[in-house]
A and B are shown apart, each in its own frame.
Chain A
Amino acid sequence: MAYVAVKGGEKAIDAAHAWLAVERRGDPALPALDLAQIEAQLGRAVDRVMAEGALYDRRLAALAIRQAQGDLVEAAFLLRAFRTTLPRFLASLPLETSAMAIRRRVSAVFKDLPGGQMLGPTTDYTHRLLDFALADPAAALPPAPPEAVPDAARMPRVHDMLGQDGLIEGDGPPTGDEPADLTRQPVSFPASRDLRLQALARGDEGFLLAMGYSTQRGYGGTHPFAGEIRLGEVAVEIAPPELGFAIDIGEITVTECQMVNQFKGSKTVPAQFTRGYGLVFGHNERKAMAMALVDRALRAEELGEEVTAPAQNAEFVLYHCDNVEATGFVEHLKLPHYVDFQSELEAIRRLRATAAAASAEEVVA
């Protein structure tokens, strides 16, 4: 009987997992991918998984990518499910990105500036022609680039320089509050900016890209300029209460984007540029820039702008930017729903019977 086909879940799951493991390994004649290779040669994938997995650990991200067969959303999910089991000791001190060991720093608002423009390892000016020479794994090593000696001390942040003249809004005084953490307290509205930034930093790159892009096409425009984008290594410091002073616990790679946006002012308040901010684990300018656009769009209410577009709606953005939540709920539609579907079948049959009886009555009348 057909009914038998839906039984035997236990065996089916085991068989599916066994098949998956074989498919993951692929052709056994080929050497297995090494985590060090993934870390070193698929670094941007590792960066994305760390950002969306909200855990800075290159090795674990590489493992997740291998386990997920290169599905980066699934890899981020694996990392999140590991992260959630870790104890949370402290919030770090704010990262001092002005003291970053810079590998790349560009500004679109000044032709030249203290410290200069520094392109770093960018694809921005490559021609997107497939490089067939890369197909050969034995290709010769690329020649070393000319030595660059950036001097972080000579690379002040663009917005600090604009800020000296009061042309752009400042950081504001530190509140001293513990930063919000949506992994401990569920999001509620109105959502504070620290909470919004946390959600965006963990959020899906594609979602933020589309949201940021929509603001550039008239859905909540913010008149942005890329004030500064910087990439490099920053120290992470914590100040355990029992020590009473800050200690350095390591270094992480981050991409930071400061947008300079539409100015605000009035007869009594001098006009000032406003800001949008993006900060992402690893090297990911696309996401850092999109995040900065969306951050600024989400400040619409605070800045007295009319909230009309999706990117300005904090509930819309914050509840839909997390790809682990989104992929779970979209894909859960493949779980069985036959009980509910049966109730819909019965309901639609009743409605059809009622309508048929009514039209039969009309015919008789």
Chain B
Amino acid sequence: MSEGYNFAYLDEQTKRMIRRALLKAVAVPGHQIPFGAREMPLPYGWGTGGIQVTAAILGQSDTLKVIDQGADDTTNAVSIRRFFARTAGVATTTETARASVIQTRHRIPETTLRADQIIVYQVPQPEPLWRLEPSRAACRTMHALAEYGLMHVKLYEDIARYGQVAISYDYPVMVNDRHLMAPSPIPAFDNPKMDRMPALQLFGAGREKRIYAIPPYTSVRSLDFADHPFRPHRAPHACTLCGSRDSYLDEVLTDDRGGRIFVCSDTDYCATRQRKDAA
């Protein structure tokens, strides 16, 4: 473990401040709680919010998994996992089922999460209304009044123009039938996994200095209309490596003549399936 730094890098006062924000966030699902986010030794945009939340909840007996784009071996996931291995000395894993805390950027694992697990999302832009109203002060008032007409109009305009909603990731959700929330830039395919998830879901936005949460088993509804129900999409293929037809796929170009394969974005899910096939 790193000399000269507290367990999991942050000092205990800061962790306590973050935990207070987390408690508020859990008490009002989907509501953004401002918090005194600290500067971290990783740049803003690399997951400073998620790292602070993870640092605040991590205990010595935890097992941490970190993924980026669904994979444990992407450089940023490696870097963050190393950061906690170095500053907290906690056990790390790539197996979803073995992790007690999972920090993620842009995906929710394919394996269903359990009640004894916590998933921490890295959030670049916690305000779901920002593209429609850039003033965060104005957005705050709209949340207070549950005034979400602007977003419904945006969805309606998409349908009028394209015949369908043209948001494919960071697809807005209504949490506990009260707060409109940005699910972070996960593909809309992952949105249904958030609904009544047994695991606690925590969201940290470092640069924007906001924390929010979805308590276990809370209703999370992707915004839609009765005659245009929400539909998650994935590439209509099977994984080249494990054959899965249900998982979210990455498209990988294999040559410059249009050759491509599709493989699971969730590397642990894919590897587990390949091992089972081999056995």
Does A185 count as interface, using CB distance less than 8 angstroms? Answer: yes
On whether the beta carbons of B124 and A329 are closer than 8 Å, the reply is: yes
Q: CB-CB < 8 A to B107: which residues of A?
A: 339
- Residues of chain B from 6 to 62 with CB closer than 8 A to chain A in the complex: 9, 11, 34-41, 43-46, 48
Whether A354 lies near B162 (C-beta < 8 A) is: yes
Among A6, A10, A12, A186, contact of B36 (Cβ-Cβ < 8 Å)? A186
Task: Verify if B252 is at the interface (C-beta below 8 Å from A).
Answer: yes
What residue in chain A is nearest B137 (Cβ atoms)? A189
The answer to the question of A2 belonging to the interface, with a C-beta cut-off of 8 Å to chain B, is yes
Q: Say yes or no: is B100 at the interface (Cβ < 8 Å to chain A).
A: no
Contact with B along A295-311 (1 / 0, CB 8 A): 00000000000000000
Q: Is A165 an interface residue (CB 8 A)?
A: no
Asked if A315 CB lies within 8 Å of chain B CBs, one says: yes
**Digit string of A5-17 for contact with B (CB within 8 Å is 1, else 0)?**
0111110110000
Instruction: Confirm or deny: A84 has a beta carbon within 8 angstroms of a beta carbon on chain B.
Output: yes
- Is the Cβ of B250 less than 8 Å from the Cβ of A328? no
The yes or no answer to B215 lying at the interface (CB within 8 A) is no
B209 engages A186 (CB within 8 Å): yes
Q: How far is the CA of A335 from the CA of B45 in the complex (A)?
A: 9
CB distance from A89 to the nearest CB of B (A): 13
Interface size bucket, A side? 35 or more
With a 10 A CB-CB cut-off, give which of B46, B168, B248, B265 has the most chain A CB atoms: B168
Q: Is there a chain A Cβ closer than 8 Å to B112's Cβ?
A: no
Is A338 part of the binding interface, using a Cβ–Cβ cutoff of 8 Å? yes
Q: Does B204 count as interface, using CB distance less than 8 angstroms?
A: no
Given A3-B252, A335-B76, A336-B68, A343–B44 Cβ distance below 8 Å? no
Provide the residues of chain B in CB contact with A84, threshold 8 Å: 38-40
The residue from A8, A183, A185, A329 contacting B45, defined by CB atoms under 8 A apart: A329
Residue of A13, A185, A346 contacting most chain B CB atoms (<10 Å): A346
Q: Looking at the complex, which one of A329, A330, A342 makes contact with B250 (CB distance below 8 Å)?
A: A342
CA distance A336 to B107 in the complex (A): 12
| Chain B residues, Cβ within 8 Å of A81 | 39-41
Task: Provide the A77-109 mask, 1 if CB < 8 A to any CB of B, else 0.
Answer: 100110111010000000000000000000000
Q: Do the beta carbons of A2 and B254 come within 8 Å of each other?
A: yes
Q: Mark A163-191, 1 if CB is under 8 A from B, else 0.
A: 00000000000000000000111111100
B43 and A327 contact, CB distance less than 8 A: yes
Chain B residues with CB under 8 A of A151? none
Contacts of B234 in A (CB 8 A): 346
A186 and B34: CB pair below 8 A? yes
- Taken together as a complex, chains A and B put the C-alpha atoms of A2 and B235 apart, in Å, by 19
Docked Cα-Cα span, A217 to B77, in Å, equals 46
Instruction: Write out the residue numbers on chain A whose beta carbons fall within 8 Å of the beta carbon of B74.
Output: 6, 9, 336
Q: Taking the nearest CB of chain A, how far is it from the CB of B243, in angstroms?
A: 15
CB distance from A204 to the nearest CB of B (A): 13
A183 touches B36 (CB 8 A): yes
Residues of chain B with a CB closer than 8 A to A242's CB: none
Chain B residues with Cβ under 8 A from A347's Cβ? 166, 168, 233
Once A328-B43, A332-B44, A345-B251 are accepted as A-B contacts, the answer to whether A339 and B164 lie under 8 Å apart by CB is no
B141 smallest CB distance to A (angstroms): 11
Q: Is A324 an interface residue (CB 8 A)?
A: yes
- Interchain CB contact (< 8 A) of A183 among B11, B38, B162: B38
Number of interface residues of B (CB under 8 A): 63
List chain B residues, Cβ under 8 A from A83.
Answer: 39
Q: Is residue A161 within 8 Å, beta carbon to beta carbon, of the partner chain?
A: no
A324 touches B39 (CB 8 A): yes
Bound form: Cα–Cα A311–B40 in Å: 29
Contact yes or no, B168 A354, CB < 8 A: no
Nearest-neighbor residue (CB-CB) of B79 within chain A: A13
Q: A343 near B135 (CB under 8 angstroms)? A: no
User: Is B69 within 8 A of A338, CB to CB?
Assistant: yes
Instruction: For A9, list chain B residues within 8 Å (CB).
Output: 73-75, 77-78
- Closest chain-A Cβ to B143's Cβ sits at a distance in Å of 14
Please state if A2 and B252 are interface contacts (CB–CB under 8 Å). Answer: yes
A344 within 8 A of B: yes
Taking CB atoms, residues of chain B closer than 8 Å to A333 are 45
Q: What is the chain B residue whose CB lies nearest that of A74? A: B43
Q: Which chain A residues numbered 311 to 357 have a C-beta less than 8 Å away from chain B?
A: 315, 319, 324-325, 327-333, 335-340, 342-347, 350-351, 354
Residue A22 CB within 8 A of the other chain: no
User: Which one, A184, A189, A340, contacts B187 given CB within 8 A?
Assistant: A340
* Proximity string of chain A (271-293) to chain B, C-beta cutoff 8 Å, 1 when within and 0 when not: 00000000000000000000000
| B48 proximity list for chain A (CB < 8 A) | 328
Residues of B within 8 A of A350 (CB): 164, 233
A: residues with CB less than 8 A from B are: 1-3, 6-10, 12-13, 77, 80-81, 83-85, 87, 183-189, 315, 319, 324-325, 327-333, 335-340, 342-347, 350-351, 354
